[in-house]
Amino acid sequence: MPTILAIESSCDDTACAILKEGKVLANMQASQAIHAEFGGVVPELASREHMKNIWPLVTTTLKVSDIVLQDLDAIAFTRGPGLMGSLIVGVNFAKAMAIGLQKPIIEVNHMQAHVGAHYIDQPIPKFPFLCLTVSGGHTQLVQVTDYLRMEVIGQSIDDAAGEAFDKAAKLFGLPYPGGPVLNKHANNGNPIFEFAKPRVGGLDFSFSGLKTSILYYVQKQPEGFVTENLNDLCASVQKTIVDILLTKLQKAVEQTGITELAIGGGVAANSELRRRFQELGVKNNWNTFIPKFEYCTDNAAMIGIIAHHKYLGGDFADQSVGPLARYAI
């Protein structure tokens, strides 16, 4: 059973984890505060921060795990999807480290890893299960038939759910990253405002219209409206996004007959989505699964657990492997 060091650097968090026999010994990250003053991730700065953070982070993760370099059986990394300049840092660091140690490398798809977050702690969902993966870059409904066998059965045709949260927060003048801040305000408000919901066929999603709908609504109001109604506005946006997500999830259950259900990705940290997902599960007799908070937002433990299963299947990458900004599951 392997000991694996995993690196995640697809966006603005540098993350490193060590897993021994599929158990997480340490799951650490260095977040990049620098982007807040720009109201969003600046790719060039993210890349530079990864460069600065990666070695100290890997050293600390080894120390915390009480693991020395020679104990490692493989080095895993996120190959994509993500920001090219960010991915390059993690991919090349992992490849160089593996050459130095003469160890194999394992490449991991970031979106597959968000689903894989469900394999870290028991109980894990039974196959086949459906996973609604909602992050800052993606919104996907994934049908999972085995640890590494998954198929996207629905996805956003424009913005991701996390982007919708972040853009709405920005419209309300809230600091970046907007999703968690909007969530906090929503906790103290009521969803009294109505925003247009998209009409997209099948199991696909659309969120770009929501931003326009909020913008037009707010523009028509008198000065000071947003400040005075901030909590209720946040609660209304949050309810609309959660409605859209759970309506499609219900449709996916009807179409597939699968009642083993999971959510993952950064937006799965949203308290209203978690609450209503569980509530729906109880009402419809579904088995619902939500990863621990730290395994919802970007982390390297989820990269490590997918790598663990790839290791068991002998699925190693070649040193010629490069990052992919777009990388389908």
* Positions in the binding site for ligand KG4 (CB under 6 A): 11, 135-137, 162, 165-166, 177-180, 183, 265-267, 269-270, 297-298
298 in contact with Zn ion (CB under 5 A) = yes
Closest CB 198 distance from ligand KG4, rounded Å: 18
Q: Could you give the CA distance from residue 82 to residue 87 in angstroms, rounded to a whole number? A: 7
Angle between helices 271-284 and 178-186 (to 10 degrees): 70
Per the structure block, which two tokens stand in for 58? 């890997």
Closest CB 11 distance from Zn ion, rounded Å: 7
Q: Could you give the CA distance from residue 12 to residue 27 in angstroms, rounded to a whole number? A: 16
Of the pair 80, 125, the CB lying nearest Zn ion is at: 80
Of the pair 85, 137, the CB lying nearest ligand KG4 is at: 137
Residues whose CB is less than 8 angstroms from the CB of residue 212 and which lie 6 or more positions away in sequence, other chains included? none
49 in contact with Zn ion (CB under 5 A) = no
Q: Which residue has the tokens 């800052």?
A: 136
Per the structure block, which two tokens stand in for 180? 């968690």
Per the structure block, which two tokens stand in for 94? 């992992």
- Exposed, middle or buried by CB within 10 Å (0-12, 13-18, 19+), for 238? buried
Closest CB 279 distance from ligand KG4, rounded Å: 17
Of the pair 12, 210, the CB lying nearest Zn ion is at: 12
Stretch that binds Zn ion, among 130-138, 147-155, 215-223, 247-255 (CB under 5 A): 130-138
Of the pair 80, 177, the CB lying nearest ligand KG4 is at: 177
Of the pair 3, 297, the CB lying nearest ligand KG4 is at: 297
Concatenate the DSSP letters of all residues of 219-239 into one string.
HTSPTTHHHHTHHHHHHHHHH
Site string for Zn ion, 135-154 (x = CB under 5 A): x-------------------
**Residues making contact with Zn ion (CB under 5 A):** 135, 298
